[in-house]
Each structure stands twice: as C-alpha cells, then as structure tokens.
Amino acid sequence: MIQATPLRWLRLAAFGLGGAVVLAGCETQYADKGHAYRAEPGVYQATRNGPDGAPQGSCWGRTVSPAVIETVTEQVQVSPAQYNPDGSLLRPPTYRSEARQMIVTPRVDSWFETPCAEALTPDFIASLQRALAVRRYYEGPITGILDKNTQAAIRAFQRTTGPDSGVLSLASARQLGLIAVDRTTLE
C-alpha cells in the first residue's frame, strides 16, 4: 500500500485542479448564469484563435464537415480460365473480393467570424432572442440566456444565409441589427 504524504496529496490536488481547469476550458461553448453548453458534433466553440491571417482580437467559430468515405468492393481475378486444346472450358477463372475505402468528399473546415464572448451579455442575448422571435425563429421566453432553444433558433436562422451552426456568426448578428455594420467593408 502506498502512503500518501501531505506533499503527495498536494501534488494530487494540484493535478486534479489543473485537469478540471483544462477540461472546463474544452467543454464550454457559452456560459451564462451557471449554464454551460457543449458544442454540437462538427462545430467547434467560438474562439479567439481563428484561421491563418485572422485580425488580432477577432473571434471565430468553425464548422467541420467530415469526409465522406465509401467502401468499394471489387472482384479481382486470382487465376485465369483454363481451356482444353479443343477450346472447351477446363477450369473457369477464380476471383476474390477486395474491399478498399475511398474518400468521396474530403473534410471541409469552414471558419466564420463571431461576436467575442464579452459581447454576449444577457442584454445582447435578450436582444438576439427578440430579433429571432420577430422573424419567427424563436418561440421561447426572453431570458437573456444562450440556451439550447436559442442556439436552435440561431441555427435555423443561419441555415439559409450563414454557417449551419448554433454559434452566432458576426454576419448574422449584423443582419439581425445587433451589431453595427463595419463601414470599411462597405467601401
């Protein structure tokens, strides 16, 4: 049996706390008033680390369309047919099946700019909920919490014009009138 000295307990506690901090950082997409939501499969949470060449201080989301892989089965001839001297078939050819996987459509990473986390205040989210409700994408109460119903409404709104994601894109926020349009993009 291993004896746990106070120093060993301190090391274990520090490791456990560090592991919890690392896991908490990986798990949370949005958090407000104690609510935390995981990113749905294929969608990465909004982050300040964007694609190569992203402006300093900008925030980004990313959707991932997985590769489509198809299994192709082919018949491969093992031995050819053998014929008698008179031309009649002595032994038919033999075949074996070989299966291989082929990438039909490669994986696609799509980056989109998002409002940064500090902009996602309860007042902003309440305005987002109202804007989505007016357009009949959101039917829940105006809570100021970015919950699953709000994310589903964002996804439904963006499905036609933006990323197929529950993460609000900057373009959608501008289209909803929640963020001012950048004049440099208009020129």
Task: Please determine, for residue 153, whether its predicted confidence score (pLDDT) is greater than 60.
Answer: yes
Residue carrying structure tokens 């699953």: 148
Position 52 scores a pLDDT of 83
The reply to whether 179 and 87 lie within a common domain is no
Residues 6+ positions from 171 with CB-CB distance below 8 Å: 112, 113, 161, 162
- Nearest alpha-carbon partner for 151 in 182, 174, 120, 123: 120
Position 26 scores a pLDDT of 29
CB 48 within 8 A of CB 158: no
Structural domain range at position 118: 30-62+114-186
The reply to whether 52 and 140 lie within a common domain is yes
Cα–Cα dist 6/174, whole Å: 55
Report if residue 15 sits inside a domain: no
Between residues 19 and 144, which one has the greater pLDDT? 144
Torsion-angle region of residue 42: left (phi > 0), alpha (psi -120 to 50) or beta? left
- Nearest alpha-carbon partner for 64 in 167, 135, 182: 167
Q: Is 127 exposed, middle or buried (0-12, 13-18, 19+ CB in 10 A)?
A: middle
pTM across the whole model? 0.57
pLDDT digits (tens, 9 = 90+) for 114-139: 998 888 999 999 999 999 999 999 99
Report if residue 86 sits inside a domain: yes
Task: Please determine, for residue 183, whether its predicted confidence score (pLDDT) is greater than 80.
Answer: no
Report residue 14's pLDDT band, with 50, 70 and 90 as the boundaries: very low
Task: Please determine, for residue 4, whether its predicted confidence score (pLDDT) is greater than 80.
Answer: no
Task: Please determine, for residue 25, whether its predicted confidence score (pLDDT) is greater than 50.
Answer: no
The reply to whether 153 and 181 lie within a common domain is yes
Q: DSSP characters for the chain? A: -----HHHHHHHHHHHHHHHHHHHHHH-SEEETTEEEPPPTTEEEEES--STTPPTT-EEEEEEEPPEEEEEEEEEEEE--EE-TTS-EEE--EEEEEEEEEEEE--EEEEEEE--GGG--HHHHHHHHHHHHHTTS--S---S---HHHHHHHHHHHHHHS-SSSSPPHHHHHHTTSSPPPHHHH-
Report if residue 9 sits inside a domain: no
pLDDT, mean over the chain: 77
The reply to whether 179 and 118 lie within a common domain is yes
Position 175 scores a pLDDT of 92
The reply to whether 138 and 164 lie within a common domain is yes
Task: Please determine, for residue 39, whether its predicted confidence score (pLDDT) is greater than 50.
Answer: no
Task: Please determine, for residue 94, whether its predicted confidence score (pLDDT) is greater than 50.
Answer: yes
Cα–Cα dist 8/77, whole Å: 65
Task: Please determine, for residue 43, whether its predicted confidence score (pLDDT) is greater than 50.
Answer: no
Residues 55-74: what's their mean pLDDT?
89
